[in-house]
Structure 1
Amino acid sequence: MDLGISGRTAVVTGGAGGIGRHTTRLLLEEGAQVVMVDQDKDDLKEALAWLSREAPGLPAPLTVPVDLSTDEAARDLAATVADLAGEVDILVNGAGITGATGPFHEISDDDWVEVLTTNLLSAVRVTRAFLPTLRHGGWGRIVFVNSEDAVQPYDDELPYCASKAGLLSFARGLARSYADEGVLVNSVSPAFIETPMTDAMMDKRSSEMGVSFDEAVESFLDEERPYMELGRRGKPEEVAAVIAFLCSERASFVNGANYRVDSGSVATL
């Protein structure tokens, strides 16, 4: 399907991660120029190598390593992207961490601040930094990579859940602000996708339970995610496909939506 974004410029934060690199690939395949943003230079190099292997012949994305924990860093990123790629039409906010997990009484203020800063405030700052260029062209797309946890919190990862609930509220409110200027804002909420983040969770679970990685995944699905009706982790490309659609001209009447990519995981409406 032609998504109508050939020649558009996209920025993908968290671009070196599983969902980020697959999103980058799809946008490149549709003819967009893509800037991959991530905190770690080595992760970006590895993502470039992956793209070269998995999608030979595609133009390489531009890459910018940056820690988005401050407003100054977000503004510097916008300036750097302007110099490298010109005006931006598409912004995918995908940077995020799981952060501290466990019983609420064992999680410190610093733990909460780390997760809220990375998952919520970095998205606020990056969006604010790129908003002038998104508004300038009369056509723009902002997509937030959220989580099922935004509407179905789990008691052992409350900082993450709260950060994602805040992100969902921010995205829905923002969708009302600039639609008349052609800037559409939407969210994608995956559940338990095959990414380095969930790999780390399952490695920890495997070690704690004294079982194999696959057994840890299976027990997690049975005990913690019983509403994932397909009975497996999702694939990052399955999430990226929805993100790419929301970045496109084909989504010209979609605004303020939250697309669940979760195998039926959320038990309540």
Structure 2
Amino acid sequence: MDLNIRGRKALVTGADSGIGLATARLLLAEGATVIMTDRDPDALVHAVEQVPDVDNRPYAFAADVTDAADIARLAQQVEDAVGDLDILINVAGIHGAGGLFHEISQDGWDHTIDVDLMGPVRVTRAFLPGLRRGGWGRIVFVSSEDAVQPYDDELPYCAAKAGLLSLAKGLSRTYASEGLLVNTVSPAFIESPMTDEMMSQRAESLGATFDEAIASFLQEERPFMELGRRGQPDEVANVIAFLCSDAASFVNGSNYRVDSGSVATI
């Protein structure tokens, strides 16, 4: 599929694995110039090694989205390498503090919000001037089903992801007249290191195998995921890439669920 983004310059955060890596690979295949970033330099190097051998090899710069100095340095590195961005995809995030509300510490709340909400805020603030200069741009935030269907043992994550929906909607109203379109994608239970860790912990607590933990989680916690499996990162990346393309030229301020029906409402 030709998304007509050849030559567009895209930054993908959280690009060392999962949805971020899948998105970077797809954009590269479509001819975009891609900058991959994540916190762990070694993991980022490993991710770049997994990218198919294409003519337009990705740039890779490590940065921590919770560190303002890191983000400023990243912005300068990107500027020096490619100039202004056309596309910004905010994927970096964590599951964060879990447990019932009264069991979660202030530090747990602070860290989860700092990574999952304020991280994208920092990155977007840093790159917004360049995105506005181009007259054509795309920002995509990766939120979650949890943003609109909160779970009582994941409230910091749910609140942060709900904040991203509101942030994206507000930005979409501010900058669309400049050609900068802003949208969100909300996955559910995608195969990734984050859900691997969740299922490993579940398997240990239940005395079950990893696959049994997934099956019981789907049955007990996500009964509306009608396909009965974890999603694949590529299935989310496909929707992100569409939102970055000219095919989505009339899509702004929208939230696309990629969740197998997990959200029970219309």
TM-score, structure 1 as length reference = 0.97
- Structure 2 CA distance, aligned partners of 1:73 and 1:170? 22
- Structure 1 CA distance, aligned partners of 2:246 and 2:76? 26
Q: Which residue among 243, 263, 267 is the counterpart of 2:240?
A: 243
Contact persistence 2:31–2:56 (CA under 8 A): no
Amino acid at match of 2:37: V
- Structure 2 CA distance, aligned partners of 1:6 and 1:268? 37
- Deviations 1:86-140 (Å, cap 9, x if unpaired)? 1100000001000111121110110001010000001011111101100101000
- Deviations 1:162-208 (Å, cap 9, x if unpaired)? 00001111111110000000000000000000000000000000111
- Structure 2 CA distance, aligned partners of 1:159 and 1:115? 6
**Alpha-carbon distance, 1:75 to partner:** 2.3
- Structure 1 CA distance, aligned partners of 2:3 and 2:50? 24
Contact persistence 2:15–2:36 (CA under 8 A): yes
Amino acid at match of 1:251: A
- Deviations 1:239-258 (Å, cap 9, x if unpaired)? 00000010111111000000
Equivalent residue for 1:85? 82
Contact persistence 1:29–1:58 (CA under 8 A): no
Structure 1 residues 101-250: aligned runs within 5 Å: 101-250=98-247
- Residue 155 of structure 1 aligns to a residue whose secondary structure is coil
Equivalent residue for 1:41? 41
**Alpha-carbon distance, 1:71 to partner:** 2.8
Amino acid at match of 1:86: G
Stretches of structure 1 that go unaligned for 5 or more consecutive residues are: none
Query: Could you tell me the percent identity over the aligned residues?
Result: 63
Stretches of structure 2 that go unaligned for 5 or more consecutive residues are: none
**Alpha-carbon distance, 1:58 to partner:** 4.8
- Structure 2 CA distance, aligned partners of 1:261 and 1:26? 17
Amino acid at match of 2:5: I
- Deviations 1:218-250 (Å, cap 9, x if unpaired)? 000000000001100000000000000101111
Contact persistence 2:168–2:182 (CA under 8 A): yes
- Deviations 1:44-79 (Å, cap 9, x if unpaired)? 11111221xxx2335321001111113333222111
- Structure 2 CA distance, aligned partners of 1:37 and 1:200? 21
Equivalent residue for 2:94? 97
Q: Which residue among 60, 72, 75 is the counterpart of 2:69?
A: 72
TM-score, structure 2 as length reference = 0.98
- State the number of aligned residues: 266
- Structure 2 CA distance, aligned partners of 1:61 and 1:209? 42
- Residue 154 of structure 1 aligns to a residue whose secondary structure is coil
Equivalent residue for 1:50? 50
Amino acid at match of 1:30: E
- Residue 175 of structure 1 aligns to a residue whose secondary structure is helix
